[in-house]
Chains A and B, each alone.
Chain A
Amino acid sequence: MNHKIIIAYTSLLSTLSACSTLEEKPEALLVSEQFYLTEVQATSAVTGTYRKLYESGQSLYNSLIQIGVEMATDDYEAGPRARNPHVRAISGLTHDASNDRMEQLWKQSYDAINASNLNIKNITAMTDNQIRPNIKNRLLLEAKFLRALHYFNLVRWFGDVPLIIDPVTSLTPAQLYVSKSSEETIYTQIQNDLLEAQDLPGYLEYNELDRGRATRGAAKSLLAKVYLTQELWQLARDKSKEVIDEEGYGLFNTFAEVFATDRKNGVEHIFSAQFQGNSGYQGNSLASRSAPADIPGINGDYADALHLEGRLYQAFESTDSRRTITFTTGKTSPVDGQYYGLAQPQFDKYYDESVIGNQDQSSKNLPIIRFAEVLLIYAEAENELSAAPSPEAISALNKVRARANATLYLGGDDGDSFRELIFEERRKELVYEYQRWFDLARRGADYYVAKLRTANKLLAAPRHIHFPTPQRELNINPNLSQHPDWINF
Chain B
Amino acid sequence: MKTKRVSKYSWLLLLLLSIISSSKGQQTSPIINASLEGIVIDANTKEPIEGATVQLEAVTHLVRTDASGKFVFVTGQKLPFSVTISYVGYATKTLIISKSPTVIELESDLSGLEEVVIVGYGAVKRRDLTGAVASLPNEYLKQNISALDQVLKGGISGVQVTQTSGQPGGGVSVRIRGGASIQGGNEPLYVIDGFPIYNQPESTGINSGTALNPLASINPSEIESMEVLKDAAATAIYGSRGANGVVIVTTKKGINGGAKLTYDGTFGAQSAIKQIDVLGAQDFATLRNEVMYDTNPSLGRQQYLSQNAIDALGAGTNWQDEAFRTARVLNQQLSLLGGGDRVQYYVGANYFDQQGIIKNTDFKRIGFRSNISARPYEKLQIGVNLSINRTQAQIAPTRIVNSLLIMPPTATVYEADGSYTLRNPFENIFANPIASLLETTNQQVGLRTLGTTFAQYDIVPGLQAKVLLGADLNTRTDKFYLPSYIYEGSVNNGRANLGSLDYYSWLNENTLTYTKSINQHNFNMLLGFTQQEARSAIFNAGSENFVTDELLYNSLQSGSTLLRPESGSYAWVLHSFISRVGYNYLNKYYATASLRRDGSSRFGANNKWGNFPSLALSWRVSEENFLKERASFLQDLKLRTSFGMTGNLEIGQYQSLSTLYALNYQIGNSIATGFASRGLPNENLGWETTYQYDAGIDLSLFNNRLQFIFDWYYKKTDDLLLNVEVPWTSGYANSLKNFGSVRNTGLELNLKSSNITGKLTWTTDLNLSLNRNKVLSLADGNSSLIIGNYIIQVGQPLGTFYGAATDGILQLGEETTRGVYTGNAIPRAGDRLYVDVDGDGQFTTANDRRILGNAQPNYLFGITNTLYYKGFDLSILVQGTVGNKILNINRQELEMFTGQQNASTDALQRWTPENPSNSYPRAKLDPAPIFSDQFVEDGSFLRLQSLQFGYTIPKSWSNHTLSSVRFYMVGQNLLTWTKYRGFDPEVTSGSNVQIGTDLGIYPVAKSLSIGASITF
Question: A residues near B, CB below 8 A?
Answer: 1-2, 4-6, 8-9, 11-13, 15-24, 26-33, 35, 41, 44-52, 55, 80-81, 83, 85, 88-89, 92-94, 96-98, 103, 106-107, 110-111, 113-115, 117-118, 161-162, 164, 167-171, 173, 175-178, 207-213, 264-265, 274-276, 278-281, 299, 301, 357-358, 360, 459, 470-473, 475-477, 480, 488-489
Q: Which residue, of A19, A118, A167, has the highest number of chain B Cβ atoms within 10 A?
A: A19
Q: Which residues of B contact A29 (CB under 8 A)?
A: 568, 654, 657, 659-661
Q: Which residues of A contact B563 (CB under 8 A)?
A: 280
A107 to B601, CA, bound (A): 32
Nearest CB in chain A to that of B602: its residue? A24
A283 to B667, CA, bound (A): 14
Q: How would residues 664 to 675 of chain B score, 1 for a CB under 8 Å from any chain A CB and 0 otherwise?
A: 111111111111
Taking the closest CB of chain A, its distance from the CB of B900, in whole angstroms, is 8
A31 to B683, CA, bound (A): 13
Nearest CB in chain A to that of B508: its residue? A16
A47 to B460, CA, bound (A): 68
Instruction: Using known A-B contacts A5-B459, A176-B726, determine if residue A47 contacts B570 with beta carbons closer than 8 Å.
Output: no
B660 touches A31 (CB 8 A): yes
Instruction: Using known A-B contacts A31-B659, A211-B667, determine if residue A81 contacts B732 with beta carbons closer than 8 Å.
Output: no
Nearest CB in chain B to that of A359: its residue? B491
Taking the closest CB of chain A, its distance from the CB of B514, in whole angstroms, is 13
A229 to B217, CA, bound (A): 64
Nearest CB in chain A to that of B825: its residue? A94
Q: Determine if B448 is an interface residue (Cβ-Cβ < 8 Å).
A: no
Q: Determine if B737 is an interface residue (Cβ-Cβ < 8 Å).
A: yes
Taking the closest CB of chain A, its distance from the CB of B896, in whole angstroms, is 10
A281 to B670, CA, bound (A): 11
A97 to B846, CA, bound (A): 8
A94 touches B457 (CB 8 A): no
Counting from the closest, the 8 A-B pairs by CB-CB distance are: A114-B731, A48-B674, A47-B674, A280-B564, A274-B666, A209-B668, A107-B728, A32-B658
A103 to B725, CA, bound (A): 14
Q: Which residue, of B657, B681, B730, B786, has the highest number of chain A Cβ atoms within 10 A?
A: B730
25 A-B pairs with CB atoms under 8 Å apart are: A5-B19, A5-B459, A6-B465, A12-B11, A12-B467, A19-B8, A20-B575, A24-B654, A26-B569, A32-B658, A32-B677, A35-B660, A44-B673, A46-B674, A103-B728, A114-B731, A115-B676, A118-B677, A171-B682, A171-B737, A212-B666, A358-B491, A473-B728, A488-B840, A489-B844
Q: Which residues of A contact B667 (CB under 8 A)?
A: 47, 50, 209-213, 274
B731 touches A110 (CB 8 A): yes
12 extra interface residue pairs, beta carbon distance < 8 Å, beyond A5-B19, A459-B825: A15-B4, A20-B575, A22-B575, A22-B600, A26-B657, A32-B660, A49-B676, A114-B730, A177-B727, A265-B669, A280-B564, A281-B664
Q: Which residues of A contact B653 (CB under 8 A)?
A: 26
Q: Which residues of B contact A28 (CB under 8 A)?
A: 537, 567-570
Taking the closest CB of chain A, its distance from the CB of B993, in whole angstroms, is 15
Taking the closest CB of chain A, its distance from the CB of B545, in whole angstroms, is 8
Question: Which secondary structure dominates where chain B touches chain A?
Answer: mixed
Contact of A9 among B8, B465, B537 (CB under 8 A): B465
Interface residues of B in 635-669 (CB under 8 A from A): 653-654, 656-669
A8 to B16, CA, bound (A): 9
B15 touches A9 (CB 8 A): yes
A477 touches B15 (CB 8 A): no
Contact of B666 among A5, A26, A103, A275 (CB under 8 A): A275
A175 to B729, CA, bound (A): 10
A13 touches B529 (CB 8 A): yes
Q: Which residue, of A89, A264, A459, A476, has the highest number of chain B Cβ atoms within 10 A?
A: A476
Q: Which residues of A contact B601 (CB under 8 A)?
A: 21-24
Q: Determine if B57 is an interface residue (Cβ-Cβ < 8 Å).
A: no
Contact of A45 among B570, B659, B676, B729 (CB under 8 A): B676
A5 touches B465 (CB 8 A): yes
A12 to B667, CA, bound (A): 56
Instruction: Using known A-B contacts A22-B608, A97-B846, determine if residue A32 contacts B681 with beta carbons closer than 8 Å.
Output: yes
Nearest CB in chain A to that of B653: its residue? A26
Q: Which residues of B contact A48 (CB under 8 A)?
A: 662-665, 674-676
B929 touches A85 (CB 8 A): yes
B7 touches A15 (CB 8 A): yes
B573 touches A21 (CB 8 A): yes
Q: Determine if B934 is an interface residue (Cβ-Cβ < 8 Å).
A: no
Contact of B11 among A8, A111, A177, A471 (CB under 8 A): A8
Q: Which residues of A contact B658 (CB under 8 A)?
A: 31-33
Q: Which residue, of B661, B729, B840, has the highest number of chain A Cβ atoms within 10 A?
A: B729
Instruction: Using known A-B contacts A96-B846, A471-B846, determine if residue A44 contacts B7 with beta carbons closer than 8 Å.
Output: no
A110 touches B730 (CB 8 A): yes
Q: Which residue, of A8, A26, A279, has the highest number of chain B Cβ atoms within 10 A?
A: A8
Q: Determine if B14 is an interface residue (Cβ-Cβ < 8 Å).
A: yes
